[in-house]
Amino acid sequence: MLNSQAHQSHTVQILNPWHKPFPSGTASPSSSLHLLKPGFCRNQKDKGRVRCVPSIIKAIATTTTEQTTIVKAVVCVKLTVGGLLSNLRLSRGLDDIADMLETGLEKETIKGYAHRTSQEEDEVKYECNFVIPEGYGEIGAVLVENELHKEMYLKQIVFHGFPPGGPVHVTCNSWVASKFDNPHKRIFFTNKSYLPSQTPDGLKRLREKELENLRGNGQGKRKTHERIYDYDVYNDIGDPDSSPTLKRPVFGGKQHPYPRHCRTGRARSKTDPMSESWSSGSIYVPRDEAFSDVKRLTFSGMPVYSVLRALIPSIENAIVDIDLGSLLHCH
């Protein structure tokens, strides 16, 4: 006969997981862990009694050690004449490393954040450290993002600590536009050269992408920060909108094959659909082909210098004549 006073447990038994020895034989909680799942109960009938049996789940934490290498990247940025980069703060100037040489495939990028360390004359140096896992391979390219609101002139990037073979050099010598003007990261390749048949597949993709960036898509108006080498006919020599007598022929076509210039993408003239509207501003050239600050200031200052050279003798003659007049008057 069943006992009329059946006992039912309304609580779930929670066992202390540290009461039992660990599978490794030690009592250190860092090497293993016993977890309880108290919300699960299994009803068992034993002589009219209902028991709640807790389910115990064992989770063993294993630790693995991985060999890593710390690589230091030194970034050289050139100051402009106006000192626009004198207070440069690169929170993310050097952003990613793309590696695709060890296996020929592109691996996951490793990010680094550059900080300013020193300044020598017109060069500012930034440094950042990368933790490279074992077997990562060689560096094939670097992706750079400029978080400033102004462009910066990036000279070179040198990676120290890659065994073996010494430092890895990335020669840039190029303007990097602000990410607010161009959200796409700049691609710079290492100085190591490859034949087309021996170029790793992962590196080929970036090479093709960079070539597309330089060619452009033939659409839109060119901006000063762009590096697109898209050539077109010379159709902006004249200014027919101002006067019909200022209409000029188009050069670079079938009738006049040469010369040609970089495509500007400006709107067409209102009176001559074959010509572009005249621009009073600067003519587009790829950013790296434009005059440097020193050369631009020198070029723009030449007319002033020429005027001064012609004006100074006139001023000197006027001063001499005044002196002569005063001397004659005194005598």
> Which of 213, 247, 264 is where one domain is finished?
213
Q: Per residue in 279-331, pLDDT tens?
A: 666 788 899 988 766 555 555 555 555 656 666 665 555 555 544 443 333 33
94 assigned to some structural domain = yes
Confidence of residue 164 (pLDDT cuts 50, 70, 90): low
Give yes or no for residue 57 having a pLDDT over 90: no
Alpha carbon distances (Å) from 40 to 6, 43, 45, 60, 193:
22, 10, 16, 21, 64
39 assigned to some structural domain = yes
How many angstroms separate the CA atoms of 306 and 291, rounded? 20
Alpha carbon distances (Å) from 53 to 13, 42, 50, 140, 255:
7, 6, 10, 59, 95
329 assigned to some structural domain = no
Same domain, residue pair 284 and 296: no
Same domain, residue pair 139 and 78: yes
328 assigned to some structural domain = no
Same domain, residue pair 206 and 73: yes
Q: Which residue has the tokens 């000279």?
A: 155
Same domain, residue pair 99 and 186: yes
Same domain, residue pair 41 and 72: no
CB under 8 Å to 294, separation ≥6 — which residues?
81
Question: Residue 307 belongs to what domain range?
Answer: 291-321
Q: Which residue has the tokens 């490859």?
A: 194
Same domain, residue pair 195 and 222: no
Which string of b and e fits 246-267 if b means at least 16 CB within 10 Å? ebeebbbeeeeeeeebbbbbbe
The model's pTM: 0.61
Which string of b and e fits 86-116 if b means at least 16 CB within 10 Å? eebebebbbbbbbbbbeeeebbeebebebeb
Query: What would the two tokens of residue 210 be?
Result: 């960079």
275 assigned to some structural domain = yes
331 assigned to some structural domain = no
Q: Based on the structure, what is the number of domains in the chain?
A: 4
Q: What CATH number does the domain containing 130 carry? A: 2.60.60.20
326 assigned to some structural domain = no
Give yes or no for residue 41 having a pLDDT over 50: no
CB under 8 Å to 69, separation ≥6 — which residues?
131, 132, 134, 161, 162, 163
Q: Per residue in 188-231, pLDDT tens?
A: 999 988 898 888 888 898 999 999 999 988 888 888 899 999 88
